[in-house]
Structure 1
Amino acid sequence: MAESPSSSAQQARRILADRLAGLARDAGLTGRELAVRCGWHHSKSSRIMNARTPPSTGDIRAWCRACGAEDQTADLLASLRSAEGMWTGWRRMEQAGLKQAQEARLPLFERTRRFRSYSSWFVPGLIQTRGYTEAVLRAVQRRRVEVDDVAEAVAARMERQRVLYEGGRRFAFLVEEPVLRNGIGGTDVLVGQLGHLLTVGSLPNVSLGVIPTSAERSRMPVEGFWIFDSDRTNVELVSGYLTLTQPSEVAMYADTFAELAEMAVYGVDARALIVAALDSLR
């Protein structure tokens, strides 16, 4: 797995910084000389080349002009957009409220045909009940979002769930057994949610696996993640939202999902764990 939540994004920034530093070297320019040509303080060149400060689009254009490498501008700008898109802090993503953040993901769900989801924290959004979703998003709003549009955000997430019932899609959900007992929203909400899992788990295009707490583990619980087809992984962390599109990184999460899937139980055995959790609540 990644060394830290945003290590993949940081690596992309490091690669971009190294490319910019290489242009300066190829042009025979020191950081000070490049700063003079670009019209900024010499320390800025150093910060950019050492990946301490991310360049802006204007910085990259000025840098390429100073190095006589304007033919590299478009490619470097594409690398910048990719690095910026990898890591998004929750504050930035949710600054306009939770509804917009929910709606922004809908096109991704609509174009995906194979979904894989692992959660060690809570029930994945696509198979949440309205009450469970409201409890989750209300907790998020109270903790970090000034705008209170929870009702609208819940409606947006419920709308997204239609992809479960539209043809041509396959879903594989893995949850750790403690997810069945986490108490989000209180007893009544959790009872409704567990009953919904029994229903959703019977859909022909859905695989629902539960990893028992008693399972002999070859892989410890990790952060929750989604794999969309085979070309994108999204990871939800305490500090932000990570998007991975590099094939090697997506493959790492796919391998992790496969290892976790081998520890899970399905069908009758998964239903037995869900029913046991229901019985403990009743």
Structure 2
Amino acid sequence: MSTDYQQGRVALGARLRELRTEGGLSGRALAGQLGWVQSKVSKLETGRQTPSPADLEAWASATGRPGIAAELQARLRGLETQYRSWNRQLAGGHRERQEAAVLETRRTDVIRAFEAARIPGMLQTAEYARHMLAAAAEFIGSPRDTEDAVRARIRRQEALYEPGRRFRFLLWEAALYVTIGSTEVMIAQLDRLVGLLGLDTVELGIIPLGAPARRTPAHGFWIYDDRLVIVETINAELWLDSPADIALYSRAWEWLAESAVTDHQAHRLIGRARASLTPR
């Protein structure tokens, strides 16, 4: 969990505790009034649990300050603008998140992205994407709307062919060897990468496994112009828009780019990965 998010959750908890004490209620009394276990009150007040909007509305009412619910919920929305848990984002399936990616891409002129262990979504074949999204739904336990999500992901790729756009992808060579689905799926995916190398809107850099690294690959991230960074973790997605964060991730991208090869050298690495999948 990001430090900024946790600090914000602690601050929200302190505000909840303030409302409870101003209302003359003990933690046990408030829990009893709301029908909660007392430990939930304690976790919310100490920032160890994220409240739901309904929790905040109930808290405000129980402490005699129903009008404060809007303020509390605004604080919560502010937290979740930056830190978006997968459980909440994917409660209705993957399609909505894919549609959000389509919208962000439409309003962006330059995308810079780095992926360490998978092909970037904007470069995926439908079959590769299908296996990725189905596996993610199984892991998170979210509803399976795989086909709708795949269609949205492929629709997002239309931006690759729009004049004036620029897409700069960095890929660690290891991602070419992580088998998603089957050998046939991977062969088609690697062929897709080769086909994109000639697009004037796309720059694909591959960081060879043995390349000297000024910065070692840590995790994937996407930079949208100079206004937004999106980072995926196992349990959440971070949307970072502070100038300091954007500058830091931009520096990380540039340092990684120093180790990457492009054009015919990238083609050679993709070809080598493809050859390893072809029966001899």
Q: Deviations over 1:133-169 (max 9, x none)?
A: 1121122233333533212211111111111112322
Is 5-14 or 120-129 further displaced after alignment?
5-14
For structure 1, the 5+ residue unaligned runs are none
**1:127 deviation in Å?**
0.6
Structure 1 residue identity aligned to 2:97: A
Cα distance change of structure 1 residues 166 and 75 upon mapping to structure 2, 3 Å threshold: farther
Q: Which residue of 1 aligns with 2:224?
A: 228
Segment drifting more, 73-82 vs 245-254: 73-82
Find the counterpart in structure 2 of residue 207 from structure 1: 203
Cα distance in 1 for partners of 2:271, 2:116 equals 19
Residue matched to 2:21: 32
5+ long unaligned stretches in structure 2: 32-37
SS in 2 for 1:226: strand
Q: Which residue of structure 1 lines up, in the alignment, with residue 85 of structure 2?
A: 89
Deviation per residue, 1:66-89 (Å, 9 max, x gap):
7xxx9x998876443221222222
- Counting matched residue pairs gives 267
Write out aligned runs for 1:56-135 (5 A).
58=57, 78-135=74-131
Alpha-carbon distance in structure 1 between the residues aligned to 2:188 and 2:43: 53
Q: Distance in 2 between matches of 1:199 and 1:153?
A: 23
- Cα distance in 2 for partners of 1:200, 1:141 equals 28
Residues 59 and 218 from structure 1, CA distance in 2 versus in 1: closer, same or farther, beyond 3 angstroms? farther
TM-score using structure 1 length:
0.81
CA RMSD between the two structures: 3.1
- 1:178-257 matches, within 5 Å, as 178-257=174-253
Checking the alignment, whether the CA contact within 8 Å between 2:118 and 2:175 is kept in structure 1 is yes
Between stretches 116-125 and 166-175, larger displacement belongs to 166-175
CA contact (8 A) 1:119 1:224 kept: yes
Q: Is the 8 A contact 1:173 1:209 kept in 2?
A: yes
Q: Which residue of 1 aligns with 2:276?
A: 280
CA distance in 1, matches of 2:263, 2:219: 25
Tell me the secondary structure at the aligned position of residue 149 of structure 2: helix
Q: Deviations over 1:116-135 (max 9, x none)?
A: 11101200000111121112
Q: AA paired with 1:273?
A: L
Structure 1 residue 206, shift from structure 2 partner? 1.2
Whether the aligned pair in 2 keeps the contact of 1:172 and 1:207 (CA below 8 Å) is yes
Give the SS at the match of 1:171: strand
TM-score by length of 2: 0.81
| Distance (whole Å) between structure 2 residues aligned to residue 196 and residue 149 of structure 1 | 24
Residue deviations 1:188-221, cap 9 Å, x none?
1111111111121221121111011001122121
